[in-house]
Structure 1
Amino acid sequence: MSQGVLDRSTFEAIETYVLDRMSALDRAAFEQRMAGDAALCAEVELEKENIRAVELGGVTRMLKEIAAEGTVSDTNMAQGGWKQYLKYAAIVALVLSGSLWLLRPSANERLFAEHFIADPGLPVAMSGTSDPAFADAMVSYKEGDYERARANWSLLLQQEPMNDTLRYYIGSAWLADGEALAAIPLFEVLAADPGSAFRAKARWFLLLAYVRAGESAKAKAVELDTDPTYGGPARAIKAQLYR
């Protein structure tokens, strides 16, 4: 079984197994298949997590809808209130059977999640500037408030459009916020500049941004394979993309 590739019939078999809907005979055969397929075992564990997440989300939404419609009294229950609960239970079951397949992360999304670690940012005392606006944005970035960090740095970039530090950290804030497409142009400029101190790191995050955006061909073309820091993981990612 190829990593990251899961056909619908296999997915449905995994779902049936995890939800304990298999016959004893089918279950035994499936478990025998798992015993010889580590990748399938990993998929089963992943789908268990996905199913638990969707179950939790579905039940939460169901309870909110019930609360919005008002508390079901004993009288209402006698008059068919239980039908409401059954209706919502059926909806959740339908969500489980269909949306898990549709919402399943793509191979590229999984690869990105496996390798992406956001740049930790600069210690404020070492930010390379005495500008309090830059330092304030760096604090926001390190606290995970990427939107505020981007807003402050973008104002500074308007004043210093050639500032590599600002470009790099705005791009990093976009990527850490899950916005790969917005990060790509910023990293592309730095990755192409041999004089930039951020060139290697920009290429690494550009590769990851391409992966996240589904631009596999562009990710493979990023020249990073011989880099002493990023070469190993870059080659590992590209090997997965060539499968």
Structure 2
Amino acid sequence: METNNNKENPQENQDLIDAYLLGNLEAKELAEFNEKMNLSTNFKQKVEEQKTMMESAEEINIKDLLEDFHKEIEDLSYSNWMSRGRLALAASVLILIAVSSWAIFFHENSAERVFAENFKPDPGLPTTMGTTANYNFYFGMVNYKRKNYTDAIASWEPLYAANPTNDTLVYFLGVANLANNNPRQAEKYLLLAQQNSESVFIEEAKHYLALTLLRKNNISEAKAILSKSQSPSNIALLKALEDL
């Protein structure tokens, strides 16, 4: 459901987005911000547009700095270049370039970076539609493999309503929702999936649940889930979270 943006202050939204992109939001504010993006596609689009503009501006600034720096080198004689003042100027410019480069590549929240580096949707199950009873499930699996996650979820949710204990349905509904940028629903299904100790998807469910929690910036909860697993992929993901 879209939030009602008619009563929102555009300048307040802009300031909020700037604070998010610069990493200046507290944990509670960040959680509220992510919730707002989940509820409003218009707001999320504004965030992406501002992010693109900020990155472009930073890249232009670095380009200008480099051009000015190179011109400065060409205009200086060797003796001037080796003077203390020139060396200090050069060092300052290089530090500024390095800091700006770091901002471009690492200004996003660290949890989101780890999520982006580690999230790959489950490849899915073979789609051999052998029986009428399984047709809707495998039809959804075809859409899932085509990355049509909305259609896959639409096929699976009625099946889940009729059989909420089916571990395969619960697991893939969780992964599909996470891939479809709906971490709230993903968490609902994956919490159920990782609680079923007899499920063949138990370790995978823990992995995607941890990624879902990262998507929501719940780092400590993600670590707690992964610490209960001995699978190589989960151990590797927990290691990636050590410095967060």
Please classify the TM superposition score into its range, dividing by the shorter chain length.
0.5 to 0.7
Alpha-carbon RMSD across the aligned residues, in angstroms, is 3.6
Aligned to 1:236: 239
Seq. identity, %: 29
Inter-partner Cα distance in structure 2 for 1:7 and 1:233: 26
Contact 2:187/2:212 (<8 A) preserved:
yes
- Please, which runs of 5 or more residues in structure 1 have no aligned partner? 48-103
1:145 pairs, out of 145, 148, 151, with 148
| Whole-Å separation in 1 of the counterparts to 2:112 and 2:229 | 25
TM-score of the superposed pair, with normalisation by structure 2: 0.60
> Contact 1:18–1:44 (CA<8 Å) still a contact in 2?
no
- 1:28 is aligned to 90
Distance verdict in 2 for CA 1:145–1:31, change over 3 Å = same
Given candidates 171, 174, 177, the residue that maps to 1:174 is 177
Q: Quick check: 1:18 aligned with 2:62?
A: yes
Higher relative CO (Cα under 8 Å, sequence separation at least 6) belongs to: 2
- Asked if the contact 2:156–2:173 (Cα under 8 Å) also holds between the matched residues in 1, the reply is yes
Q: Deviations over 1:194-243 (max 9, x none)?
A: 112111000000011100111112112114465233243222232132xx
Distance verdict in 2 for CA 1:144–1:29, change over 3 Å: same
How far apart, in 2, do the equivalents of 1:210 and 1:117 lie? 15
**TM-score, structure 1 length as denominator?**
0.60
Contact residue 17 and residue 27 of structure 1 kept, 8 A: no
1:124/1:139 contact within 8 Å kept: yes
Match of 2:167 among 147, 164, 169: 164
Structure 2's unaligned 5+ residue stretches are 1-20, 25-53, 70-85
Q: Is 1:46 matched up with 2:105?
A: yes
Give the number of aligned pairs: 176
Alignment CA distance shift 1:141-1:27 (3 Å): farther
Residue deviations 1:26-73 (CA, integer Å, cap 9, x gap):
9832564389x7xx58626638xxxxxxxxxxxxxxxxxxxxxxxxxx
Q: For residue 239 of structure 1, give the secondary structure of its aligned residue in structure 2.
A: coil
